[in-house]
Amino acid sequence: MQGARGYIQLLATGGTISIGPDGPLRAKNMIKMARRLPAEIPVRGEDFATIHSSSITIAQIESLSARVRTAMDDDHCLGVVITHGTDTMEETAAALESMVHPEKPVVLTGAMVPSKDRGADGPDNVADAIACVNEGSVGGLGVVVVLHQRIHAALEVTKGHTTCPDSFTSGDAGPVGWVTPSSVEIVRTPMRAALTSTKLDQTVALIRLVAGDTGRLIELALNDGYRGLVVECMGAGNVPAPVIEICRRASEAGVIVLTTSRVPAGPMELWPSAGTAGMIPAVLGKARLSGLAARMLLMTALGAEPDQRLSGKQLSDLFIGASPGKIGPMEQGGTTESLGE
């Protein structure tokens, strides 16, 4: 049993899960409230932050990734559980996956119902997250998000409901696994991206195309010095003609332009002229990234040290040539073949 060999690190950052009956809950309270904690596993609690995740800064995401990296480097640490607000959980998860690319379990969890209220989902979610680390089988899947008994991969998950405990979804692909009171089941290998960087470049804009779009917002971002764009195009990959021309000029000027669809689920095939305009579909293997995940990936790619930074061509190869579970120009062990150790 792994518990005999080390400890699990819990990092508390705030969010709805930390709203307790008598004030904010700290890391030690999270551990206490989790039901079904296997008695033999030491779980160390650390109060990393006490914020609503809607207020998280890029600097805080960078320091969280540094903290997770330190935990990964500690031979005694079996894995990390991060309690986090649900509003931006998918963005922190995508950033940690792209920046740290962990092989040990890193599990984000939170709650849709405050821990002080009837129907609070936090205690079970924390217990499930700890079970995932302890059981070990999520190791090799990269960063995962565990809520409502489901295990979602960092680059696939989105928050799909504003209030329901069953809020998180992985779209058509479905979760990578689930947690029952007695087991952790993994059903498929998720897409991953092996970029790794300690910094996120903040000059990446996420822009949703709208009816009548003239590309004005994109132009403003470019004039403001943005080095990357994630464009949520329409339907299965359609882009209004004026926007294509602006994106063409942007990519010719060295700006990386990733595209995904503003429609949450389904495949995407970029309109041919958008492809020739240097717009790169944010599709890994057969899986399409959300705009939020694509932004974090591009921020990581552009945030890398100059000698590690990918060119537009390499990024394009990364997306177009990738297959789920085996992605990335750098051989960093970014595969998910070693499930369950």
Q: Which residues bind ligand ASP (CB under 6 A)?
A: 15-16, 52-54, 85-87, 110, 112
Instruction: Measure the CA–CA gap between 276 and 262, rounded to whole angstroms.
Output: 21
Q: Which residue, among 302, 307, 288, 64, has the nearest Cα to 205 in the 3D structure? A: 302
CA gap 313, 260 in Å, rounded: 18
Kindly name the residue from 13, 16, 158, 260 that is annotated as catalytic: 16
Single-letter code of the amino acid located at 289: L
Query: Which residue, 54 or 332, has its beta carbon nearer to ligand ASP?
Result: 54
Decide: helix, strand or coil at residue 249.
Answer: helix
16 is catalytic: yes
d(CA 314, CA 258): 13
User: Which of 79, 92, 85, 96 lies closest to 130, judged by CA?
Assistant: 79
3-class secondary structure, 310:
coil
For the chain, the C-alpha Rg in angstroms (whole number) is: 20
Nearer to ligand ASP, 53 or 170 (CB): 53
Q: Which is nearer to ligand ASP, 87 or 317 (CB)?
A: 87
Q: To the nearest whole angstrom, how small is the minimum distance from the Cβ of residue 59 to ligand ASP? A: 17
Q: Which residue matches tokens 């997306």?
A: 319
Q: Cα(13)–Cα(103) distance, rounded to whole angstroms?
A: 22
Q: Which is nearer to ligand ASP, 16 or 261 (CB)?
A: 16
Helix (H, G, I), strand (E, B), or coil: what is residue 179? strand
Q: How far is the CB of 25 from ligand ASP (least distance, A)?
A: 12
Q: Considering the complex, what minimum distance in angstroms separates the CB of residue 85 from ligand ASP?
A: 2
Q: How far is the CB of 119 from ligand ASP (least distance, A)?
A: 13
Residue 63: CB minimum distance to ligand ASP, A: 17
Q: Which is nearer to ligand ASP, 112 or 327 (CB)?
A: 112
Tell me how far apart the alpha carbons of residues 157 and 133 are, in angstroms, rounded to a whole number. Answer: 19
Shortest reach from residue 16's CB to ligand ASP, in Å: 3
- Looking at the Cβ atoms of 46 and 87, the one nearer to ligand ASP is 87
Check: CB of residue 319 under 8 Å from CB of residue 287: no
The closest residue (CB) to ligand ASP is 85
- Distance, in Å, from the CA atom of 209 to the CA atom of 244, rounded to the nearest integer, reads 11
H-type alpha helices, the chain: 27-33, 58-73, 89-100, 122-135, 216-223, 241-252, 272-276, 291-303, 312-320
Whichever of 26 and 52 has its CB closer to ligand ASP, that residue is 52
Backbone dihedral region of 254: left (phi > 0), alpha (psi from -120 to 50 degrees) or beta? left
The alpha carbon of 73 is separated from its chain's Cα centroid by a whole number of angstroms, namely 21
Give the whole-angstrom CA distance, residue 47 versus residue 44. Answer: 10
Query: Closest separation between CB of residue 114 and ligand ASP, Å?
Result: 8
Active site residues: 16
